[in-house]
Chain A
Amino acid sequence: MSETEISTTWRTIARRTQAKINVAWWLDRFTPLLVGISVIMAGIVLYLRSNENSPSTFILFSSFAIALITLAIIAWLTTRQHYVRQQDAFVRLEDQLHLHNALTTADHGIGAWPPTPSTQTINSGLDWHWPRILTPFAVSFAVVTTAFLIPVTVIQGSSSAPPSQPLAWEQMEDWLQTLEETELIEEQALNEVKEKIEKLRGQPKSDWFSHSSMEASDSLRDGLSKQIEQLGSDLSHAERDLNAFQNFSQQMSDGTKNQLLQEYSQAIKNLQTGSLPLNSKMMQALQNIDPSQLKNLNQLSKEQMDKLRKQLKKGAQASKKAGHGKGNHLPGLKEGDLIAYLMQQNGNGSRTGPGRGGISRGPGEAPISLGDPQHLGTQNFEAVQNPDLSRAAPGDLVGEGQSKHDIDKSKTAPQQAGAVKSTGQGGNTIWKESLLPAEKELLKRYFKSPQQ
């Protein structure tokens, strides 16, 4: 190997060592910046993803890439003073390879280059600190990936435009459209409501959101909501009654049948006279059924009956949908539970005593009151259950308890008569009395007795 080749080889090795050290310096500065920008990027990604109009992933990645390049340049600029020269790399190598500064000397043109060692023996004495280098990259990757993958709830409406017309109008139009689709309601009734809405809309636009207009809109909407709710309830009752007569008439007592018959008649009457009456075709079909013959139900074939019920059910569901699920149409009861429900409500119709525990079997329903009839259980704890406390009216009794008086039994020194222990402030209750229910009752009786 010629002197030039040896020189070239040593310079290549030195450049490699130089690059290794300089890259390490650059990494020392860049990796903390990388972690920092990744955390910031993750925050930005999460924020943007939680908004409706988030930019595309490409734009996000492009921004991230630009930020990384900028930081890389900053890291390079701020670590330049630490960067080693090729001469420093020579010194490092000759120190490690025990070359007695021969490389530095040869680099200055004095003396010969030392023979190049085999590749295996070339060692700058420095190894990469892999855990330290890779950990920031792994953390950054994990943070950014998590920001992209983590489920985020999109916050809506924050940037949406203000409504162009009162929301009540839109709601009512939606409801009317839903009712129209059922083709059960008299079209004239629906048109009347539409006319009212159009009348409101006919006002100057500047008055749409005036107080009076909003009042009128809300009033109209509430009225329509109640009408739809009533319609749904009536349809539901009618359908349920027909279902009961069709499928469970053999199992019902006469009292139950009468109860259902009354309910059916009332529902038909309501449907006929309500603000949202059924259309003539449907009404005709329902009126064709003779209420007096409903017990036997031999007027319509099973298919006709099913069709009628299906239409009623569809109407009830549409009403429910239009009324946002409001309504009193026993939504929790299945068809099979209907009879049991009615029997529970009416004590099997014909009798006032306990039922028989079913239609045709069993020894009968268990009595409501158990134990000694003379003992009314006034001394027992009894919790009043009100699972829906949001509907509790002010003054409703939520619970009742019995406990001992909270008496301060701590010993006190003799006190001067008339001395005021606690002066209290204006409005304070200076005498508090709490009595147990039994004591209150006794007190009441005591004061009442002279008058009586």
Chain B
Amino acid sequence: MAISEKDIQKHAADIAKLRDTLNGVLFGQENLIELTITGLLARGHILLEGLPGLGKTELVTSLSKALQIETKRIQFTPDLLPGDITGNPVLQETPKGREFIFQPGPLFANLVLADEINRASPKTQSALLEAMQERRVTVLGESHELPVPFFVLATQNPIELEGTYPLPEAQLDRFLFKLEVQRNNADTLERIVNQRELGIEPKVEAVMNAQTLTDIMKAVREIYLPDVVANYIARLVDGTHSGQSEVAERIRFGASPRAALSLASAAKARALIQGRINASFEDVKAVAIPVLQHRIVLEYQTRIDGTTARVVVENLLSEIPTQDLDTPASLKEATA
């Protein structure tokens, strides 16, 4: 065993400190913060969907401060070109003469906030998504490694769809999570009003550095994934395909194998956050909706009925049992 219970507890404590710090900055978004940290530890990119002003940018800013990692923000617009985010070679005078020197774009940061990603042209989106997948950019045949760790937190506005380029399904698949930023309730709003001042950023305590974060991410890989949990993940993903479950009747295209890997990785990250050495069914269930909801394409009729992907995934979780074993008729589920 490469990782000990002691290390697990230490990492869990660090993560708890990070979580508390973020909760102290962003009020009423505990679940969002929990899942964002989970996504980061699972080496995933996150797509945040929500109305403006709900704290998406603040979450990214606070995260970067707490983690003490370099953060850059890119506002995506229709006229944004790939080179604007990846960087361009610029002709410069050097001792050897004039040379094209690569000037890194805003992608070269540990944490990139791609604001309103659906407003950029497909070409620019594609460049970003390639960088997300391969963690490097290639300009004029020359590859440039992105810094480690590298995360993209993209946002998109679900209501202003005019003049946007919705992300194709294949590109959505690159995001580990799609998180919906919920609006705050009255109590939370009151708390925000009392404790925040417009235009003044809250002070965020640095609780971790990039090295610690990298260590924790390595530890996540060491988390034990029992065979039964792996089997559950496989059956869940398989259940999104036609004929494999009742829910699948409402799905046109099911989730990819990358979805299964994402589920496993996210479940491990959540187990570490919870201070456990192994992933469990509960971890899989907790991350199933953010992992799967943007990876399935619903039937037209299902969308017309107003059923969302979240509801379909919830039904899938209800339908697929954790254990693939039948119960004999001589036994019945205990009432209490």
A residues neighboring B (CB under 8 Å): 20-21, 23-25, 27-28, 31, 82, 84, 87-88, 91-92, 94-95, 98, 100-102, 104-105, 108-112, 123-129, 132-133
Question: Can you report 24 A-B residue pairs in the complex whose CB atoms are below 8 A from each other?
Answer: A21-B327, A25-B328, A25-B330, A28-B330, A82-B328, A84-B325, A88-B323, A91-B228, A95-B323, A98-B282, A100-B282, A101-B229, A101-B278, A104-B226, A104-B227, A104-B228, A112-B5, A125-B333, A126-B327, A127-B333, A127-B335, A128-B331, A129-B331, A132-B329
Say how far A1's CB is from chain B's closest CB, in angstroms: 18
Interface string of B143-160 (1 = CB under 8 A from A): 000000000000000000
Inter-chain CA distance A94–B329, complex, in Å, is 22
Contact between B277 and A27, CB atoms less than 8 A apart: no
B-side contacts of A24, CB under 8 Å: 328-331
Kindly list 5 other residue pairs between chains A and B, CB separation below 8 angstroms, not including A104-B278, A129-B332, A132-B329. Answer: A82-B326, A91-B228, A104-B227, A127-B331, A129-B329
Contact between B281 and A95, CB atoms less than 8 A apart: yes
Inter-chain CA distance A102–B274, complex, in Å, is 13
| Known A100-B276, A101-B281, A108-B226: A133·B330 in contact at CB below 8 Å | yes
Q: Lowest 5 A-B CB distances belong to which pairs?
A: A24-B328, A100-B280, A105-B278, A24-B330, A101-B280
Residue of A nearest to B322 (CB): A95
Q: B193: CB under 8 A from chain A?
A: no
Residue of A nearest to B323 (CB): A91
Inter-chain CA distance A100–B274, complex, in Å, is 10
Interface string of B192-229 (1 = CB under 8 A from A): 00000000000000000000000000000000101111
Q: B186: CB under 8 A from chain A?
A: no
Query: Contacting A129 at CB < 8 Å: which of B228, B274, B279, B330?
Result: B330
Q: Which of B248-289 contact A (CB under 8 A)?
A: 271, 274, 276-283
Inter-chain CA distance A125–B322, complex, in Å, is 14
Inter-chain CA distance A231–B198, complex, in Å, is 140
Say how far B100's CB is from chain A's closest CB, in angstroms: 53
Contact between B226 and A105, CB atoms less than 8 A apart: yes
Contact between B330 and A101, CB atoms less than 8 A apart: no
Query: Contacting A127 at CB < 8 Å: which of B283, B325, B332?
Result: B332
| Known A91-B322, A111-B224, A126-B334: A28·B278 in contact at CB below 8 Å | no
Contact between A111 and B277, CB atoms less than 8 A apart: yes
| Known A24-B328, A127-B334, A128-B331: A101·B323 in contact at CB below 8 Å | no
Say how far B271's CB is from chain A's closest CB, in angstroms: 8
Q: B1: CB under 8 A from chain A?
A: yes
B residues neighboring A (CB under 8 Å): 1, 5, 224, 226-229, 271, 274, 276-283, 322-323, 325-335
Say how far A367's CB is from chain B's closest CB, in angstroms: 86
Contact between A128 and B224, CB atoms less than 8 A apart: no
Say how far B106's CB is from chain A's closest CB, in angstroms: 40
A-side contacts of B228, CB under 8 Å: 87, 91, 101, 104
Query: Contacting A101 at CB < 8 Å: which of B5, B226, B335?
Result: B226
Residue of A nearest to B231 (CB): A91
B-side contacts of A20, CB under 8 Å: 331
A-side contacts of B332, CB under 8 Å: 126-129
Inter-chain CA distance A123–B322, complex, in Å, is 17
B-side contacts of A28, CB under 8 Å: 328-330
Query: Contacting A108 at CB < 8 Å: which of B224, B281, B322?
Result: B224
Inter-chain CA distance A210–B325, complex, in Å, is 79
A-side contacts of B5, CB under 8 Å: 111-112
Residue of B nearest to A109 (CB): B1
B-side contacts of A91, CB under 8 Å: 228, 322-323
Contact between A105 and B277, CB atoms less than 8 A apart: yes
| Known A92-B323, A111-B5: A128·B330 in contact at CB below 8 Å | yes
Inter-chain CA distance A109–B335, complex, in Å, is 33
Inter-chain CA distance A409–B260, complex, in Å, is 94
Inter-chain CA distance A132–B224, complex, in Å, is 41
Contact between A101 and B279, CB atoms less than 8 A apart: yes
| Known A95-B322, A123-B334, A127-B334: A105·B224 in contact at CB below 8 Å | yes
Query: Contacting B328 at CB < 8 Å: which of A27, A104, A110, A123?
Result: A27
| Known A91-B323, A104-B226: A110·B281 in contact at CB below 8 Å | no
Inter-chain CA distance A102–B8, complex, in Å, is 15
Contact between B330 and A27, CB atoms less than 8 A apart: yes
Residue of B nearest to A129 (CB): B332
Say how far B230's CB is from chain A's closest CB, in angstroms: 11
B-side contacts of A105, CB under 8 Å: 224, 226, 277-278
Inter-chain CA distance A87–B1, complex, in Å, is 20
Residue of A nearest to B321 (CB): A95
| Known A92-B323, A132-B329: A110·B277 in contact at CB below 8 Å | yes
Contact between B278 and A110, CB atoms less than 8 A apart: yes
Say how far A26's CB is from chain B's closest CB, in angstroms: 9
Inter-chain CA distance A126–B326, complex, in Å, is 12
B-side contacts of A111, CB under 8 Å: 5, 224, 276-278
Inter-chain CA distance A95–B282, complex, in Å, is 9
Say how far A31's CB is from chain B's closest CB, in angstroms: 8
Inter-chain CA distance A351–B195, complex, in Å, is 143
A-side contacts of B329, CB under 8 Å: 24, 28, 129, 132
B-side contacts of A108, CB under 8 Å: 224, 226
Say how far B145's CB is from chain A's closest CB, in angstroms: 34
Say how far A313's CB is from chain B's closest CB, in angstroms: 74
B-side contacts of A112, CB under 8 Å: 5
The interface centre, meaning the residue of A82, A91, A98, A102 with most chain B CB atoms within 10 A of its CB, is A91
A-side contacts of B271, CB under 8 Å: 100
Inter-chain CA distance A88–B231, complex, in Å, is 12
Contact between A110 and B1, CB atoms less than 8 A apart: yes
Inter-chain CA distance A23–B331, complex, in Å, is 10
Inter-chain CA distance A129–B332, complex, in Å, is 6
Inter-chain CA distance A111–B1, complex, in Å, is 9
Inter-chain CA distance A110–B278, complex, in Å, is 8
Inter-chain CA distance A257–B293, complex, in Å, is 123
Say how far B12's CB is from chain A's closest CB, in angstroms: 13
Inter-chain CA distance A125–B335, complex, in Å, is 8
B-side contacts of A27, CB under 8 Å: 328, 330
Say how far A421's CB is from chain B's closest CB, in angstroms: 73
Say how far B69's CB is from chain A's closest CB, in angstroms: 30
B-side contacts of A25, CB under 8 Å: 328, 330
A-side contacts of B274, CB under 8 Å: 100
A-side contacts of B281, CB under 8 Å: 95, 100-101
Contact between B328 and A125, CB atoms less than 8 A apart: no
Inter-chain CA distance A94–B323, complex, in Å, is 11
Residue of B nearest to A29 (CB): B328
Inter-chain CA distance A27–B332, complex, in Å, is 14
Contact between A132 and B322, CB atoms less than 8 A apart: no
The interface centre, meaning the residue of B271, B283, B327 with most chain A CB atoms within 10 A of its CB, is B327
Contact between B278 and A100, CB atoms less than 8 A apart: yes
Residue of B nearest to A90 (CB): B228
Inter-chain CA distance A104–B335, complex, in Å, is 25
Inter-chain CA distance A87–B231, complex, in Å, is 14
Inter-chain CA distance A112–B276, complex, in Å, is 11
Inter-chain CA distance A87–B326, complex, in Å, is 15
Residue of A nearest to B282 (CB): A100
